[in-house]
Amino acid sequence: MEAIHGNAAKAAGRELRARASGVTVLAVAEVAIGLRDHSGWAVAVAVSAEPLVRDRRRMELCDPALPRQAYHAASGLPIEQAREVIMKVERSAFAASERELCGLVHDLAGQGHRVRAVAISVRTSPIPQDLSTILRSHPLLHAAEGELYSEALSDAAQSAGLPMIRFTTKDLAGAAAALGCSPATVAEIVVELGHGLGPPWAKDQKEAAMAALLALQTAGR
């Protein structure tokens, strides 16, 4: 989509804000799912192009009997025991991600919606392959925890045959360019998307919604 400038950009912003407030409602829509993951859970927001929020939920990504922060739990253990703890959590995270993601896709399909793409956050800090190096570094422990769940969601989306994009927080500015509006306008639209939904509509939900908008634009090219 070409960028819109000047008065046209303002008009586009007004149109998108009107749609976000619910003026235009389609019974059936193509949607994208934006995901914002944390240790053991994730926020999912499904958005259609009007834009409208079609679903919003929390996904549980780890068996409660296992440590959500696998690398922290493994630090201080002999390396082979540490590896086993992490592998157990990785398997649990993938199974839970697959179950939760497929459940969301199923629920959206039940409403007549088709998922065009899934947007999953990705970390920008490089993580070494050597496990012992990770376990000795507190910053690397946190980075590895994040990568574990991000990769579990990515593998689950791939297993389900869903087109996928990976994004960083900085990439979310791309949603503004794709829509032909300023970042401030898109941020306002994302805030308005939450009106009438009730809490929670905090940073995670807003970023997931913006990622979903970005995924819709990317999938539509």
Tens of pLDDT, residue by residue, the chain (221 residues): 223 233 333 444 444 444 444 434 445 789 999 999 999 999 999 999 888 999 999 999 999 999 999 999 999 999 999 999 999 999 999 999 999 999 999 999 999 999 999 999 887 778 999 999 999 999 999 999 999 999 999 999 999 999 999 988 777 766 677 677 777 888 888 889 998 898 999 999 999 999 998 888 887 66
Question: d(Cα 99, Cα 104) in Å, to the nearest integer?
Answer: 9
Query: Is 1 contained in some domain?
Result: no
Q: What is the DSSP letter of 171?
A: G
Q: Which residues contact 8 (CB under 8 A, 6 or more apart)?
A: 180
> Whose CA is closest to 217, among 34, 35, 44?
34
Which residues on adjacent β-strands are paired with residue 55? Answer: 46
Structure-token pair, residue 122: 């990705």
Helices (H), 21-171: 70-74, 79-110, 131-135, 138-159
Structural domain boundaries enclosing 127: 6-219
Domain count, the chain: 1
Query: Is 10 contained in some domain?
Result: yes
Q: Which CATH number fits the domain that encloses residue 66?
A: 3.30.420.10
Phi, psi of 32 (to 5 degrees): -125, 150
Q: What are 148-157's pLDDT values in tens digits?
A: 999 999 999 9
Query: Is 24 contained in some domain?
Result: yes
Q: Do the Cβ atoms of 180 and 12 come closer than 8 Å?
A: yes
Q: Is the pTM for the entire model greater than 0.75?
A: yes
C-alpha of 23 from chain center:
26
pLDDT on residue 221: 60
In this structure, the chain runs to a length of: 221
Distance from first CA to last CA of the chain, Å, rounded?
A: 8
